[in-house]
Structure 1
Amino acid sequence: MLTVIGLLSTTFGVSVASAVLPLISVELFAIGLVLTGPEIPWWLLALVIATGQIGGKLLHYSAARGVIRLPRLCQRKSEERTGRWRQWLERFRANCRQRPVWTGAVLLVSAVASLPPFAAVAVVAGWAEVPLSTFVVTGFIGRFVRFGALAIAPGAIIGWL
Structure 2
Amino acid sequence: MLGWLSASLGMAVLSSVIPPVLIEPWVLGVAVTQPEIPWWALALVVAVGSVAGKLVYYYAGKGMLRLPSFLRRKQQDAEHVQGRWSGYMERFAAECEKRPAWTYGVLLLSSSTSLPPYFAVAVVAGVANVSLTNFLSACLIGRFVRFAALAAAPSVFGVWLT
Same fold (TM over 0.5): yes
Amino acid across the alignment from 1:103:
T
Do residues 25 (structure 1) and 16 (structure 2) align?
Answer: no
Do residues 134 (structure 1) and 131 (structure 2) align?
Answer: no
Q: 2:92: which partner in 1? A: 92
State the 1:62 CA deviation: 0.4
Query: Which of 44, 47, 50 is residue 47 of structure 1 equivalent to?
Result: 44
Query: Aligned partners of 1:41 and 1:56: how far apart in 2?
Result: 23
State the 1:90 CA deviation: 1.4
Query: Which of 67, 72, 93 is residue 70 of structure 1 equivalent to?
Result: 67
Contact 2:89 2:127 in 1 (8 A): no
Query: Aligned partners of 2:121 and 2:16: how far apart in 1?
Result: 12
State the 1:126 CA deviation: 0.7
Aligned pair count reads: 157
State the 1:21 CA deviation: 1.0
SS across alignment from 1:24: coil
Q: 2:31: which partner in 1? A: 34
Q: Unmatched 5+ residue regions in structure 1? A: none
Amino acid across the alignment from 2:48:
T
Q: Any idea what the Cα deviations from partners look like across 1:94-123, whole Å, max 9, x if unmatched?
A: 001110000000000111111111111101
Query: Aligned partners of 1:96 and 1:61: how far apart in 2?
Result: 15
Q: Unmatched 5+ residue regions in structure 2? A: none
Q: 1:151: which partner in 2? A: 151
Query: Which of 43, 46, 58 is residue 61 of structure 1 equivalent to?
Result: 58
Query: Aligned partners of 2:37 and 2:9: how far apart in 1?
Result: 14
State the 1:157 CA deviation: 1.1
Query: Aligned partners of 1:109 and 1:59: how far apart in 2?
Result: 20
Q: Percent identity?
A: 49
Query: Aligned partners of 2:69 and 2:25: how far apart in 1?
Result: 34
CA gap 1:55/1:112 in 2 versus in 1, 3 angstroms: same
Which region of structure 1 is more displaced relative to structure 2, 17-26 or 70-79?
A: 70-79
Q: 1:112: which partner in 2? A: 112
Query: Aligned partners of 2:44 and 2:3: how far apart in 1?
Result: 15
Query: Aligned partners of 2:86 and 2:132: how far apart in 1?
Result: 23
SS across alignment from 1:102: helix
CA gap 1:76/1:64 in 2 versus in 1, 3 angstroms: farther
